Structure 1
Amino acid sequence: MSRKKFINAKLKSVNELQEILTDHGVFQEISPRISAPDCEIIDLQGKLILPPYVDPHIHLDYVFTARKQGAANGTGTLFEGIQRWSETKSDLTVDEIKARAIIAVKKELAHGVQFIRTHADVTDPSLTSLKAMLELREELKDLVTIQIVSFPQEGMYAYKGGQELVEEGLKMGADCVGGIPHFELAREFGEQSIHSIVNLALKYDRMIDVHCDETDDVQSRFLELLNALVLMEGIGKKTTASHTCSFGSADNSYAFKLMKNLKKSGLNFISCPTENIYLQGRQDTYPKRRGLTRVKELFENGINVCFAQDSIQDPWYPLGNGNLMNVLDNGIHIAQMMSFEEIDRCLDLITVNGAKTMNLTNSYGIEAGKPANFIVLDAKNEFEAVSERADVSASIRNGEFLFKKAPVSYEIQNDFMK
């Protein structure tokens, strides 16, 4: 039956339990009491309901390559990760990439993710990764929404013909223009790449997502240039700066000035807590930097910032399983965002803020008229969800269950535990 009424739903920041009516995959009504005969009744038992998790930054073409021959990253640095990938990617095929990516997508779906933005490495004349991601986007569209970034992993200019390959990726259907200015051979080429990224976005009317200043070098300031250009062009809300680790090392005077311009542009930020705390600070002894951008300050200033998985067992990061609650848990610890107010709000970092980054706000959220996509957490409120790292007990897409988990049961032997 397409018409369903979900009862006893706990919505974020709403004290009274709600009822949710869906029909033909769309939210029809959300209120404490709904009169709706002839519909299937589903009791959510007072559990917390959220819009689906959003992973706005992952490399699906890289997943599960960490143990590949020659891919081991001995220094644990970003730059060795790029070198190892460059040395081991020549034998990739579309089918092999898709097979690995499908495993990763299944993991993310099982943890409540329904929206993914993946970067596809286009520094390959055959554009193998991009072809694989384009096929995957179409084949899985009923289960998960995938956006693709045309991303020059080895540099738009450091890799010969990189700019042309990025543009070709856009012609083939990529949703976003990518770049990696801090990896170019000189600062001038990094700046040139930022100009090219913005020009390509304007030419093809695409979003922007730049690996920006993913380094501890405080002199890496491509964020400032990116923000200035998109501010002047009025496309800040369609632009994302990913990582921006050096902004976390910059002095407060510089950061204060830049923060004002970031608020003007509407630029989005993605931080990858688990990966960047692993990769960054490798040249430090003590004090040792955490590698994150200024997540707390961005959050407090009303600048859109979200968290992402980034990697699942690849040359940059040996762990990862697509569980954004684990990413959130690490992130709020590292960023010291653990006041009770921050804990109650922090689920935005893996839900609505990521949707805003992906420009999904017209089709995302638990509101009448929008697609009936949501997840059910094994928790009664926001604080319990975060403190208990709550599991996702069900995921609903277009009004239908992607999955629902049976309650966990224990056979108690000890009287104290009863």
Structure 2
Amino acid sequence: MFDLILRRATLPDGRTGIDIGIRGGRVAAVEPNLPGEAGQEIDATGRLVTPPFVDAHFHMDSTLSYGMPRVNRSGTLLEGIALWGELKPTLVQDAIVERALVYCDWAVARGLLAIRSHVDVCDPRLLATEALLEVKKRVAPYLDLQLVAFPQDGVLRSPGAVELLKRALDMGVDVVGGIPHFERTMADGAESVRLLCEIAAERGLLVDMHCDETDDPLSRHVETLAYETQRLGMQGRVTGSHLTSMHSMDNYYVSKLIPLMAEANLGVVSNPLINITLQGRHDTYPKRRGMTRVPELMAAGLTVALGHDCVMDPWYPLGSGDMLEVAHMGLHVAQMTGSDGIAACFQAVTANPAKLLHLEGYGLEPGCHADLVVLQAGDPVEAIRTRATRLFVLRRGKVVSRCAPVQAELDLAGRPGSVTFTRS
């Protein structure tokens, strides 16, 4: 006896006609024509069933604050940071919590059930830290929220930031963050990487560092991050996010850098929606788009995820928590439009970020958590192409969101009466 059986599913690896039996909040069986009964059955009718989407890079403390105190007129990273600096003193904890909870509602409806959010700790009140720790507790039944202590203003550049970061970790923040390229000098940036990695190593924590989010080809802090990872024996526990300077680096240097990153088993998060929006702002034409070298990093064996980064905040006025939109933009900018490339971009918003977050029980194998999404698509390519509707979202085997299939009604002589934008 199962609690629920999903019938006639197509899996991301191409298997079709698969039934998924769920018992006690976990996947109990994955096989064709699964015998047995269940308290509930859902017929997937050949549609794609996948583990949930995972966002490995987000800023939940600033989400849905667009226009506060005003909009980013230049569209640049630095004006966004300046706007956030103006907004911070006026923040109210309850408002941060409410905006974050609304975004988590959006995320669940999009099948996004795990998020790593950076939280700015360069505020003596640690207001946002307290707010997101409260959000983490409240959303735990339906969403995994992992928090990164992020010294937005520079851990060395901002007075007292080291102690504030340590306080945030003491309060229960999960991961050590950093922003070395925003320190006052390249030397200070390298020193911040060393310092922050040592703090993480001492506490047995993961690291996820904003690294080289700039058009400057000489911003090379990811090299230091790879070195410190190996020096401290933290292989597989450290992630470099953005890495946009790699877009502009000399190819010979990159031919040395990527193997160093692979030796350190660094994780990588690229944020295509935001990287192509913020980078190249000082260029005329040809205009750089700034996204890091995703296919080359994947080819070297690194775990690469695609993150959303921002939704309606000082840096980005758009977004709705749709990781298929992130994958869609990523495969275009990275020119990964072959079948293998599209499949890799689907992995980059599902299994790859789950690995970077060290999520326990993620997947479709028996024993995994029954966190699943039924999409109005026949395969990952169609899911990305149509930004497929999430028909059912399951958390621990229970339906937490459902949506009717998208279908347009037509009144055309001699043609079908409706379209779903799929081939079947």
Tell me the equivalent position of 2:108.
109
Q: Distance in 2 between matches of 1:417 and 1:201?
A: 62
Q: Distance in 2 between matches of 1:411 and 1:289?
A: 42
Q: Distance in 1 between matches of 2:163 and 2:42?
A: 52
How many percent of aligned residue pairs carry the same amino acid?
38
Tell me the equivalent position of 1:318.
317
Deviations 1:226-284 (A, max 9, x none): 01110222212111100010012111111111111111111100011011101000111
Tell me the equivalent position of 1:401.
399
Q: Distance in 2 between matches of 1:174 and 1:95?
A: 19
Contact 2:2 2:36 in 1 (8 A): no
Tell me the equivalent position of 2:420.
none
Deviations 1:172-191 (A, max 9, x none): 10100011111111112111
Q: Distance in 2 between matches of 1:82 and 1:100?
A: 19
User: Which amino acid counterpart does residue 365 of structure 1 have in structure 2?
Assistant: G
Classify 1:341/1:124 alpha carbon distance in 2 versus 1 (closer, same or farther; 3 Å).
Answer: same
Deviations 1:118-154 (A, max 9, x none): 1111100000000001000011101100000011111
Q: Distance in 2 between matches of 1:118 and 1:112?
A: 17
Tell me the equivalent position of 1:197.
196
* Cα offset, 1:309, TM superposition: 0.8
Deviations 1:75-116 (A, max 9, x none): 211111111111121011210101111111111111110000
For normalisation by structure 1, the TM-score amounts to: 0.97
Tell me the equivalent position of 1:125.
124
Runs of 4+ in 1 over 4 A off after TM superposition: none
Q: For 1:11, what is the secondary structure of its paired residue? A: coil
Tell me the equivalent position of 2:88.
89
* Cα offset, 1:408, TM superposition: 3.3
Is the aligned partner of 1:269 residue 2:268?
yes
For normalisation by structure 2, the TM-score amounts to: 0.95
User: Which amino acid counterpart does residue 380 of structure 1 have in structure 2?
Assistant: G
Gaps of 5+ in 1: none
User: Which amino acid counterpart does residue 205 of structure 2 have in structure 1?
Assistant: R
Tell me the equivalent position of 1:46.
46
User: Which amino acid counterpart does residue 17 of structure 2 have in structure 1?
Assistant: L
Tell me the equivalent position of 1:183.
182
* Cα offset, 1:410, TM superposition: 3.9
* Cα offset, 1:296, TM superposition: 1.3
* Cα offset, 1:300, TM superposition: 1.8
Q: Distance in 2 between matches of 1:110 and 1:417?
A: 33
User: Which amino acid counterpart does residue 370 of structure 1 have in structure 2?
Assistant: C
* Correspondence list, 1:104-253, <5 A: 104-253=103-252
* Correspondence list, 1:359-398, <5 A: 359-360=358-359, 362-398=360-396
Q: Distance in 1 between matches of 2:16 and 2:300?
A: 30
Q: Distance in 2 between matches of 1:393 and 1:137?
A: 26
* Cα offset, 1:2, TM superposition: 6.5
User: Which amino acid counterpart does residue 126 of structure 1 have in structure 2?
Assistant: R
Q: For 2:194, what is the secondary structure of its paired residue? A: helix
Gaps of 5+ in 2: 417-424
User: Which amino acid counterpart does residue 27 of structure 1 have in structure 2?
Assistant: V
Tell me the equivalent position of 1:66.
66
Contact 2:113 2:144 in 1 (8 A): yes
Deviations 1:350-379 (A, max 9, x none): 00011011111x411111111111111101
Deviations 1:300-322 (A, max 9, x none): 22211111111111111111111
User: Which amino acid counterpart does residue 140 of structure 1 have in structure 2?
Assistant: V
Give the number of aligned pairs: 416
* Cα offset, 1:412, TM superposition: 2.7
Is the aligned partner of 1:23 residue 2:13?
no
* Cα offset, 1:74, TM superposition: 2.2
Q: Distance in 1 between matches of 2:286 and 2:40?
A: 58
Contact 1:58 1:116 in 2 (8 A): yes
* Cα offset, 1:416, TM superposition: 4.5
Q: For 2:219, what is the secondary structure of its paired residue? A: coil
Contact 1:2 1:25 in 2 (8 A): no
Q: Distance in 1 between matches of 2:345 and 2:86?
A: 39
Q: Distance in 1 between matches of 2:319 and 2:31?
A: 38
